[in-house]
Amino acid sequence: MKYEINDPVRLTDDGRAILAIDQTLLPNHAAYIRIETQRQMYNAIRNMQVRGAPCIGIFAAYAMFLQAKVFAQSCSDKENFYQQLHTFAKVLSTARPTAVDLTWALKRMERAAANNMRRSFDTIVEAMRKEAEDIHEGNIRTCFAIANYGLSLVNEGEGILTLCNAGALATSRYGTALGPLLLGAEKGMDLKAFVCETRPRLQGARLTAYELINAGIDTTLICDSMASVVMKEKKVKACFVGCDRVAKNGDTVNEIGTSALAILARFYKVPFYVFCPTSSIDVSCDNGSKIEIDRRDPDEIKTEFFKSPVAPEAVKCYNPAADVTDARLITAIITEEGINYPPYDFV
User: Looking at the annotation, which residues are catalytic?
Assistant: 244
Using DSSP, state whether 196 is helix, strand or coil: strand
Indicate the residue type of 1.
Answer: M
Question: Which are the contacts of 81, defined by CB distance < 8 A and separation ≥ 6?
Answer: 68, 71, 72, 75, 121, 124
Range 3-7 contact pairs with CB under 8 angstroms and sequence separation of 24 or more: 3/168, 3/174, 3/182, 3/183, 3/185, 3/186, 3/215, 5/168, 5/169, 5/173, 5/211, 5/214, 7/58, 7/136, 7/168, 7/172, 7/173
Residues 121 and 319 sit within 8 Å (Cβ to Cβ): no
Residues 167 and 207 sit within 8 Å (Cβ to Cβ): yes
Residues 61 and 129 sit within 8 Å (Cβ to Cβ): no
Using DSSP, state whether 68 is helix, strand or coil: helix
Cβ neighbours, 10 Å, residue 314: 5
Cβ neighbours, 10 Å, residue 87: 12
d(Cα 274, Cα 201) in Å, to the nearest integer?
21
Residues 204 and 165 sit within 8 Å (Cβ to Cβ): yes
Beta strands at 9-11 and 18-21: parallel, antiparallel or unpaired: antiparallel
Residues 322 and 329 sit within 8 Å (Cβ to Cβ): no
Closest to 59 in 3D by CA, of 111, 99, 116, 115: 99
Indicate the residue type of 196.
Answer: C
| DSSP assignment string, 273-293 | EEE--GGGEETT--SGGGSPP
Beta strands at 338-340 and 192-196: parallel, antiparallel or unpaired: unpaired
